[in-house]
Structure 1
């Protein structure tokens, strides 16, 4: 797979001009790689000729040692040869040791970067800021006092408030009725087919809409958020009690 200066790398090694160039934007910690899959398809189609795959650095192949060897094997299975201007691939025990060490270091760097990103995001959650790109439809991100903060998005916020308060008061008795209210509102965002899925109604019943933050996967217990709630925390608690009561109510026989 070619990246920064593949044509120059090819000329420096005395190879003819590149036949094709493939790139991947996805994380190199996985083998689910559209660009790599397209390259393998190209190699199999041209297996009658000698193909050389040039990567500008060993880390460009994978940042996971298991994935590294899986992709190496996939390239070899097509009959192609893998080369890199900054590393000589070889079959001796010393060559394999160095390759494994470099792949392991690359994996460690990816994992370390992931830990640092996670720690920064967890720190923002602990401080009451929602830090994920996924957000309720009634909110939008905006810069407030230098921080990326959730702000109410009207008129959607008012529509959701009405639906949630209706459920808490008993006027809407099921999640299906909440879904129907959202479906019938012309200003609530719909899917391309014009519908509001049941899961969307379930997403409305979260503590985020009460102005609080919680993310138990990262040990972030419930705490006040830096955003305005669509409903009060008391209303949220009543909704949770109603949901628990409905779960415990036996189905009619």
Structure 2
């Protein structure tokens, strides 16, 4: 009897599990990841595989190839490549990737690491029919990901057209659930009042320069977004001065949604916002004139 053959067979009966979820909510609530591992462990028990390691990627889209958990798994497999083969278990083909290109690249990387892919949901094979089915399923998974993204984008666009802010909340605001309306922005104190004072101060001329608004924000202990030295980025100040959301409006130019009256309370009125924009433009013209000659 060939001892090397026995060692190879023993290693083939060893497996690792790879699980992935695409959202942070799934990670925090444990949805998906636990059930994937449980299903893979049951499959391994039926096949007689010993689970050596479990690798996971949380809040990672299926369109990405470079993932921490996947990279760790490939490195782990490559380090043991000379000692025998392992089986990589995935709950479903969509857990590997939701993009055909990513699927093929990861499939090749797993094979190059000396492992083979198995799943309780699909039988992987190297014959032409098996490869066709695998590629079709990968294409369907990619289509589902793209369709979900389209539906999410369409829902968000419809929300902003109706005056609601569908993105993450901004400093000075927080979300509150409103019956029949969903999530709406409401003032988040004391930050809302700090931003309001800074914006109104610049509009009235109390603060002559953006740098003065910056120093005012830095002087307020409750103001968020400071670095370790207690400084506020110039870009953040500029964003706040030019953000129509603070005037009670919403817009999404990339989605073809023009300036629209929002369903939330502005920290400043629109006339104040317009005075800020006029002062910014005047400041830009003044700086340009100073550079001439």
How high is the TM-score relative to the length of structure 1? 0.93
- Superposition pairs of residues 49-68 of structure 1, within 5 angstroms: 49-68=84-103
- Superposition pairs of residues 69-148 of structure 1, within 5 angstroms: 69-133=104-168, 135-146=169-180, 147-148=182-183
Deviations 1:95-142 (A, max 9, x none): 222211110010001111111111111111111111112x22111111
2:239 & 2:186 partners in 1: Cα distance?
Answer: 17
Confirm whether residue 39 of structure 1 aligns to residue 73 of structure 2.
yes
Deviates more, 1:77-86 or 1:209-218: 77-86
The 8 Å contact of residues 136 and 203 in structure 1, kept in 2 or not, is answered as no
Confirm whether residue 153 of structure 1 aligns to residue 182 of structure 2.
no
Q: Which runs of 5+ in 1 are unaligned?
A: none
The 8 Å contact of residues 40 and 119 in structure 2, kept in 1 or not, is answered as no
Question: Larger helix proportion, structure 1 or 2?
Answer: 2
Aligned to 1:221: 258
The 8 Å contact of residues 121 and 131 in structure 1, kept in 2 or not, is answered as yes
2:66 & 2:238 partners in 1: Cα distance?
Answer: 31
Confirm whether residue 10 of structure 1 aligns to residue 44 of structure 2.
yes
1:233 & 1:53 partners in 2: Cα distance?
Answer: 58
Runs of 4+ more than 4 Å apart: none
Confirm whether residue 212 of structure 1 aligns to residue 249 of structure 2.
yes
Aligned to 2:24: none
1:94 & 1:247 partners in 2: Cα distance?
Answer: 65
Deviations 1:148-202 (A, max 9, x none): 1111112221211111111112222222221111001223224361332222212
1:185 & 1:138 partners in 2: Cα distance?
Answer: 13
SS at match of 2:264: coil
Aligned to 1:19: 52
1:191 & 1:32 partners in 2: Cα distance?
Answer: 31
RMSD, aligned α-carbons: 1.7
Q: Give the CA deviation at 1:229.
A: 0.6
Q: Give the CA deviation at 1:94.
A: 2.5
SS at match of 2:177: strand
Confirm whether residue 196 of structure 1 aligns to residue 229 of structure 2.
no
- The number of aligned residues is 251
Aligned to 1:239: 276
Aligned to 1:166: 201
2:201 & 2:227 partners in 1: Cα distance?
Answer: 27
How high is the TM-score relative to the length of structure 2? 0.81
The 8 Å contact of residues 218 and 226 in structure 2, kept in 1 or not, is answered as no
Q: Give the CA deviation at 1:52.
A: 0.9
1:192 & 1:247 partners in 2: Cα distance?
Answer: 27
